[in-house]
A = this chain, B = another copy of it.
Amino acid sequence: MSVEKLQRYREQMRTELDKVVDFWQKYSHDTQYGGFFTCIGKDGKIYDELKYVWLQGRQVWMYCRLYRTMERFNKPEILEAAKSGGAFLRRFARIPNSGSPWKCAFCLTRDGKALKVQRTIFSECFYVMAMDELARVTGDKDMQAEAAQMMDQLVHWVRVDPSGLGKPQLSGDTPVCSMAVPMMLLCLVQQLTEARSGEEVDKYREVGGWCVKQILQHLQRGGTAILESVSSEGKELPGCAGRLQNPGHALEAGWFLLQYGLENGDQELQRTAVDKFMEIPFLTGWDKEHGGLLYFLDVDGYCPTQLEWSMKLWWPHCEALIAYLMAYSHTKEPALLERFSQVYDYTFSHFSDAENGEWFGYLTQQGKVTLDFKGGPFKGFFHVPRCLYMCEKILDSILNKQES
C-alpha cells in the first residue's frame, strides 16, 4: 500500500478525532454539577441526565491521555474538564458498602446520588484508570495513591475473595472466568506501570503476567476458537454461556496481548495475539453478506440468546481498527493492512455521522442506524476517541519510520 494511502488514513483519523473531541466538549460538560452528561442525542441534545460511572471515568481518562500525549490537545480547557470529572467521581462515585472498604456506584443522578450499584468490578476499574491518568497530568500523589489502593482492592476481589462484591453464594453458581476481568486488569496494569519502576511496579507486573495467562485460557478447541467465558480450570463451560463468542472483545484482547508481548519481547505471545485473537474473530465474526462484525456468535452455530447478537455495534469496529493497524505496524504483513482497510471502509461509511459529528453506535445487521444517539448508558467518550487516537499514533510511527 502506498505511503499516500497511509497518509490519507492518518489525516482522516486526525480530522475525525478533532470532531469527536469537539462534540463532547460542546455537549457533555455539566457546568452546574460537574462531571459529564453521557446520554446525548444525534444532534447533541441531552435526553437523560443520569451519569454512568464507567463513562465518567473513561472520559476523565481519555481527556487526560489526550492532554498528556498529544500536543494539540494540551490545552487548559481539556485539563479543566478532566479535573471537573475527576472531582465529581471522587466526591460521589464511592459509596458505603458492607463487604469491602471501597465500592463504586454504576449510575448516579445528575447531582451525584447513587442510583445503581453492580456486583462486578468494572466501575472501580474505570475509577482507577481515571484517577491514575489524572494524577499523571496533575502530579497529585494522593490521587495516585488512591488509584493504587483501589487496584489492590480489585486484585483482592479477583484473585482472593469476591465476596465483597455482594453476590450471594449459590450452589449451582460455579466460578466462571469471564475474559473481561483479566482484560480489564491487564489494561490497569499497563496504566499503572507506564514509565514507572520500583516495588509497586514489580507487584503489578506479576498481576499482568497472571492476566495474560488467564486471557490465553479463552483460546479453546485446539486453538480454533476464542470463548468469552471458561471455567476456573480453563475448560469449556456447558451450554450457551460456554459457547459464546464476542468477536469485538477477542480483537480488543488481541491488541492488549500484542502490546504486552511487544513490551516484554515475547514473540510467541505476539504471534498468538495476531494469529488467534485477531484472525479467528474476523473469520467467524465478519458478516460476509452485509459487512461489519457481528456482536455475538455461538461457536457451534446455534442462535445466541442475546437479542442484539446480529447487530453491528461501533466498539468492536474500533477495537478491530486498532488491532489490525497495530499488528500491521509490527509485522508489516500486507494482509493485516487489508483487514484494517476492510474494517475502515465499513466503519467510516456506516458509523461516522458527517452531518452532526461523532458516531452512531448501533446498526441493524443490514447496516441501518437503529439507535441514533451519540451517547447512551454504555456509549461515551471512550472507544471512538481511543481508536482514533491510537490509530493516529500508530500511523505516525509507521510513516515516521518510512520517512526517516
Contacts and interface: CB of A to CB of B under 8 A. Distances in A.
Interface string A337-366: 000000000000000000000000010110
A117 B239 contact: no
A364 B362 contact: no
A27 B230 CA distance: 28
B95 A239 contact: no
A298 B373 CA distance: 13
Given A303-B371, A362-B307, A371-B305, A240 B39 contact: yes
Contacts of A198: none
Interface string A281-308: 0000000000000000010001111011
B171 A239 contact: no
A105 interface: yes
B364 A307 contact: no
Copies in the complex: 2
Nearest to A242: B48
A305 B373 contact: yes
The secondary structure that dominates the A interface is loop
A114 B170 contact: yes
A239 B307 contact: no
Given A39-B240, A308-B308, A364-B364, A303 B113 contact: no
A358 to B, nearest CB: 14
A303 B238 CA distance: 37
